[in-house]
A and B are shown apart, each in its own frame.
Chain A
Amino acid sequence: MASRLSLSEDAYVRSGAQQTAVKILVVGHFAVGKTTLIGSLSEIAPLSTEEQMTSLSENVDDLKGVQGKTTTTVALDFGRLTLSERIVLYLFGSPGQQRFVNLWDDMARGALGALVLVDPERLADSFEVMDLVESYGLDFAVAINQFDGGTVHTPEAVREALDLLPDTPVVTIDARDKASSVNALITMVRYLQKRAALEHA
């Protein structure tokens, strides 16, 4: 099982000894395009790691609770993007259901912010993930993944439907397109800068 693994040179972080690792979460409901977006940006083939979780992890010391536990395996997809000699960015695709909440502790800790990917045809499916992002106090921008042939929704309509604050950025993207995905991240980081400036003001 623990066989020899040889990775290609590209698999390694290019300037790991000098770089600071940062992460941004790409969140959204099932099949909204998180892995597609990560794949459009990542310099490595998107990777997936699994975490086993129990549904009652809060009661780990309560032996009576053991029988009631169910173990779930959650796949976490992620990619990597070297931004400079000093910064390497990791993008984590995070499932947006409350039952994955202990996985979120790990993902949200130290994240710069989140990009919330929404499907305009299934906006109601995004409520749960928005709640999670907000409960972790993450700053976020919303990206509407405009699928082919779908009705075009204006950012204003989406803003209203999701009950967003006036300054939360909303952009329309095609998650398959690198330039489009990069733009969504740029919008988000600009917003983070604005938020940081307000906090320090």
Chain B
Amino acid sequence: MTDPDRTDLEPVSEAGALVRPYVITRGRDLPDEGTFALITLVTTSTDEQQRPQRLSPEEQQILEMCSSGYLSVAEIAAHTQQPLGVVKVLLSSLAEGGYLVTRAPVPSARLANKTLLQEVLDGLKALSV
């Protein structure tokens, strides 16, 4: 899971591996929220010999879906019709296995710099003409 574009330097929480989906489906959230935000973009890593041997059907489904391009975490949850919390757990375990490449969003609104806002504005203006 090497991603040169990752800007958040928070240490990866070990708790992710300990939290099982059944916990999540009872309404709890992963502690390492920053890794998989709603708009973190995800795709499969190109390293094919990493092909998983023992993945759950749900994990395989996600890998298959992500193999054709980038999707956000929210989109993966919507397409698989799994609750967000469950999807985050599955993504987290897949990422730990090296199957996924993730592109984290801008970590905080406060860091949204002038250039970014200007680009958003320009993009919107282009739509309105």
How many A residues face the partner with a CB closer than 8 A? 65
Taking a contact as CB atoms under 8 Å apart, the answer to whether A21 and B39 are in contact is: yes
A90 in contact with B72 given A11-B79, A183-B128 (CB within 8 Å): yes
Taking a contact as CB atoms under 8 Å apart, the answer to whether B70 and A16 are in contact is: yes
**Is B56 positioned at the interface, with any CB of A under 8 Å from its CB?**
yes
Taking a contact as CB atoms under 8 Å apart, the answer to whether B69 and A47 are in contact is: no
Whole-angstrom distance from the CB of B61 to the nearest CB of chain A? 4
How many B residues face the partner with a CB closer than 8 A? 56
Residues of B within 8 A of A197 (CB): 114
Q: How many contacts between A and B, using CB within 8 angstroms?
A: 184
Known: A2-B60, A190-B121. 18 other contacts (CB 8 A): A5-B79, A9-B69, A12-B68, A16-B69, A17-B103, A21-B103, A22-B112, A49-B84, A83-B126, A83-B127, A87-B120, A90-B38, A109-B37, A112-B112, A182-B124, A182-B127, A186-B124, A197-B114
The chain B residues found within 8 Å of chain A, CB to CB, are 25-29, 33, 37-41, 43, 56-58, 60-61, 64-65, 68-72, 74-75, 77-81, 83-85, 103, 105-109, 112-114, 116-128
A-B contact pairs, 15 of them (CB 8 A): A4-B61, A11-B79, A12-B71, A16-B71, A17-B70, A20-B116, A21-B40, A21-B103, A47-B74, A73-B83, A76-B84, A92-B74, A110-B108, A186-B128, A189-B124
